[in-house]
Amino acid sequence: MARISLTLPDTFAYFTELTVRIQDINYGNHVGNDAFVSLLHEARIRYFSHLGYSETDIEGCAIVISDLAVVYKAQARHGERLKIEMAAGEFNKYGCDIFYRVTRVPDNTLVLEAKTGIVFFNYLENKVVRMPEAFVSAVT
């Protein structure tokens, strides 16, 4: 089976730390894939908040997730602290990718690499819209 691979940026614009909660743990006694998606979502909300945005108001636009790729490198367990670094890249006129690198604190073990594609959206008109230039300036 072919594995996907991601090319992450050399530098990350923002990071946050999250602690693995008991509800994040699956029957294998490590963070489940569904829980990791939620942890990445929490990190993305913090990143946008740091920039003065929310997922429903970025210069008057919202975002929708167009795709998600995750490459697991190591397990994470209950109580461990995870450092989640984020950067935006691969810009086009309607959106971009948000890249994630997750490492375990304090030993800096790489736990996963991921990216989410985001597309800017107007929910009132129910259509994709151009990415605001101010957002591009904020994340580059």
- The domain locations on the chain are 14-139
**pLDDT of the residue at 2:** 77
pTM here?
Answer: 0.95
pLDDT at 1: 74
Q: 25: exposed, middle or buried (C-beta count within 10 Å: 0-12, 13-18, 19+)?
A: middle
pLDDT under 70: residue ranges of the chain? none
CATH superfamily of the domain spanning 14-139? Hotdog Thioesterase (3.10.129.10)
117 and 128 Cβ atoms separated by less than 8 Å: no
Residue 75, pLDDT score: 97
CA–CA gap between residue 81 and residue 93 (Å, rounded)? 36
Contact 47, 3 (CB under 8 A): no
